[in-house]
Chains A and B, each alone.
Chain A
């Protein structure tokens, strides 16, 4: 009996020691985007390397956050998604809210929200453990990343230049995501490669 317990304890300690410390990875503009693999709202697994050769936009979402509501309520996020996809980009909305925290969703909720808000992401990735979020250093909802076909990050930061919760700010705002896509797709250097993201904190 005693030996069993000792063995178990040793095994547990050994396992803890072997588990690598959570990588303080960051998504640095100009560097390869961190790889990830996460289930989407239907349960299928999506990974970044499956989209090599395509433009990818990552959008961190929390449907209860007033900043996200500003963009979805005004139709701005849906318009941006449609415009990006029209250019051939893949749009992945990522939800990193931990279970029980604001914005946490399962596949069913994600599907119904997407259709009720008339959003058109290619997929909604469910990241309740926060693995993808931490790998990218996602801080706020919304927090946007644009990745080129080679897998390099060309933009990281806010969706536009008006940090507020007021939908009235949307029409006059400069959309950094579409600007980065336009410039990069045309082969020009991206003029604004990163901005301080604004929004609610990601509820890890």
Chain B
């Protein structure tokens, strides 16, 4: 009896020991465990393991360079014969600041991956026990040494193994590992009293920090100044007080941008230089956020006057005029504002999601797609026809039809807000591209705030009117003038349609534009059929037939426009603005061409533009193409590069980002001095501005030439 109990117990213990692949141990503050990415070992194939440290609230462990205080985590392996282990790998660290000291480490949880190499002749079918001793330092206010004896037991199999439960943790950690390779062209310079790390990132950083991994090179607690220079960014580091200038600078560079943090491994030779590259500081302060919020609010207010938005909002005001005298009208104002703000959020959210997915887009991206432009043109055509009275919409979102009596419900106010935003987007790109682009380059919260300010600005007049009945005294009383006014509003609407047709023509050529115009005919016809049918108050079958005809016609028009009108033409470089372009001799922009010209000492003017960017077009015609400016550019021998962003071009998006911009227009003027930072011209150009910029920036270098 007793004998069999003991045997059963022994078997149970043995089974339990084999079944557990890992066990956690450590202290109350830090739980350590050894985990594997896969469920078995393959002979001769590297095995991905990891040391997982789970830290209690407020406790942290350290990076391979703990900085001012702390100790890096380390492993001491007890491996079976033939096994070797690589060094621990380190995901990007965090700053642990305890002024006047700074440490580098990890909070909450970290997985430190480590690769173990099993021998090729490992026989399959057995289980292998890999053991290690982990030592670390865990600190909150005080520090305690931590250690754990850890092991993991895995079977040896010849066929490929499957992912373990810990595989998602490994995948997430891979995203936190610094990217290897010279992806951002990091260079290190030693200048008096500073160590400068220069880099050309593929995103626009709002903040950056360099975690050096060599001891006694950098004063860890000193702030690192981020500067934007001519062709990239620099980070100024304070050398260690009792350290020496190293021959190489290595570590991890982490940059925060609108797309989240990116970590890049850096290993650069340190060169000496007389002075650090000049640049402007990237200031990430509250002040700049308030400024952009204010600008967004004002921009939203101005949107009310834009040709695409004016009709929609004016109709809303008309409907409001009719509602005057009712109680609780302010609720409609709120519903409208909610519609506007929520749609801006949705739009911003869509943009951010696309960018996080790696798409290189800037504001106005939607207008780079011919299909979108075509659909927008058709939508605006329908709105214009509605305004002209060709047909009325039954549920009358605009609320200005004769059928509407009194309040149309909070929901319809909400939907009008939505419609107003949709209708506003083509107008935001031409005038607000760069401001919104800046908003999008900020971390997500700031972006949302900028778009909220924009939405509030746009809905502000209506909110004001709905909240304050006294202001209604200034709004004219209802009357027949309303119908005339509504019809006249079709004019700015049609103007927008013309603009969109021109834009489509730039993207798909004259033929594409003609197909869009051809699509207008059935759409217009369908709207007319619908309108007549409603007016005639048809019943039953006749009504249904008319609806069907209307639907078919509109659908046919849309299909025609989309199918044949959205085939993009082969990108002809520099052909976007033939009028302004060819006469001046603009070359298509490329980074290589720019660098080649700069290396020769030729001054360069780069024009980042797009067809759908109205202010770009205005600047080109009003400033860049005037005889005086052309003469001056010729006189100084300025090479002209045009970066046409009408259609998606990742290289141009990257080039914009390298100058710290997300949208067009952007004008960059380089002088003759090599490595001097360029001058960025303002977004609204006059001939005077361009001439004085050329004089100041190039006149100087010319004077330098003469002195030499």
Contact = CB atoms under 8 A, between A and B. Distances in A.
Contacts of A27: 241-242
Contacts of B68: 139-140, 201
B137 interface: yes
A202 interface: yes
A193 interface: yes
- Grouping DSSP codes into helix (H, G, I), strand (E, B) and loop, the B interface class, with mixed when no group exceeds half, is loop
Contacts of A67: 143
B225 to A, nearest CB: 16
Nearest to A200: B143
A64 B71 contact: no
B617 interface: no
B243 A194 contact: yes
A164 B103 CA distance: 16
Nearest to B72: A163
Interface in B115-141: 135, 137, 139, 141
B242 A198 contact: no
Given A102-B142, A139-B101, A165-B145, A193 B71 contact: no
A89 to B, nearest CB: 20
B28 to A, nearest CB: 16
A26 B139 CA distance: 26
A139 B241 contact: no
Given A28-B242, A29-B242, A139-B68, A201 B145 contact: no
A28 B241 contact: yes
Contact of A139 (B69, B135, B139, B142): B69
A65 interface: yes
A200 B142 contact: yes
A45 interface: no
A200 B71 contact: no
Interface in A39-73: 64-67
B100 A194 contact: no
Interface in A126-148: 134, 137, 139-140
A58 to B, nearest CB: 14
A66 B98 CA distance: 19
A194 B145 CA distance: 25
B75 to A, nearest CB: 14
Nearest to A193: B242
Contacts of B98: 201
Contact of A66 (B141, B145, B216, B242): B145
B328 to A, nearest CB: 49
B143 A66 contact: yes
A194 B242 contact: yes
B144 A66 contact: yes
A102 B69 CA distance: 15
A95 B243 CA distance: 25
Contact of A26 (B71, B99, B103, B241): B241
B215 interface: yes
A193 B241 CA distance: 12
Contacts of B137: 165
A167 B137 CA distance: 15
B99 to A, nearest CB: 8
A10 interface: no
A196 interface: yes
A150 to B, nearest CB: 18
A156 B69 contact: no
Nearest to B98: A201
Contacts of A65: 142-143
Contacts of A151: none
B141 A101 contact: yes
Contact of A163 (B71, B101, B242, B243): B71
A176 interface: no
Contacts of B69: 139-140, 198-201
Contact of B216 (A196, A199, A203): A196
Interface in B67-91: 68-71
A196 B137 CA distance: 17
B427 to A, nearest CB: 51
A165 B136 CA distance: 10
Interface string A144-168: 0000000000001100000111100
A164 B71 CA distance: 7
Interface in A168-204: 193-196, 198-204
Contacts of A26: 241
A129 B78 CA distance: 47
Interface of A: prevailing SS: loop
Chain A's interface size range is 20 to 34
Nearest to A26: B241
A101 B70 CA distance: 18
Nearest to B244: A194
A164 B72 CA distance: 10
Contacts of B243: 194
A139 B71 CA distance: 14
A70 to B, nearest CB: 9
Contact of B241 (A137, A164, A199): A137
A31 B137 CA distance: 34
B141 A102 contact: yes
Choose among A29, A196, A204 the residue with the greatest number of B CB atoms under 10 Å from its CB: A196
Contacts of A165: 71, 137, 145
A174 B340 CA distance: 70
Given A28-B241, A156-B242, A201-B69, A194 B141 contact: no
A66 B147 CA distance: 14
Interface string A64-93: 111100000000000000000000000000
A139 B145 CA distance: 19
Contact of A201 (B103, B144, B216, B241): B103
A200 B139 contact: yes
A164 B62 CA distance: 13
Interface in A9-49: 26-29
Nearest to B68: A139
Nearest to A65: B143
Interface centre among B137, B241, B242 (most CB of A within 10 A): B242
A103 B69 CA distance: 16
Contacts of A193: 242
Interface string B349-362: 00000000000000
A140 to B, nearest CB: 5
Interface string B548-587: 0000000000000000000000000000000000000000
Nearest to A103: B142
B101 A195 contact: no
Contacts of A196: 215-216
Contacts of B144: 66
A32 to B, nearest CB: 14
Nearest to B65: A196
**A134, A156, A163, A193 — most chain B CB neighbours (10 Å):** A163
Interface string B48-71: 000000000000000000001111
Contacts of A29: 242
Contacts of A134: 100
A14 B242 CA distance: 37
A97 to B, nearest CB: 11
A196 B143 CA distance: 18
Interface in B141-159: 141-145
Interface string B504-536: 000000000000000000000000000000000
Nearest to A194: B242
A156 B101 CA distance: 17
Interface in B229-271: 241-243
Contacts of B216: 194-196
Nearest to B101: A201
10 contacts: A65-B142, A65-B143, A66-B145, A134-B100, A139-B69, A140-B68, A140-B69, A194-B216, A198-B71, A199-B69
Given A67-B143, A199-B69, 5 more contacts: A27-B241, A27-B242, A164-B71, A200-B143, A201-B70
Kindly list the 4 A-B residue pairs having the minimum CB-CB distance in the complex, ordered from nearest.
A194-B242, A196-B215, A201-B69, A165-B145
Interface of A: 26-29, 64-67, 101-102, 134, 137, 139-140, 156-157, 163-166, 193-196, 198-204
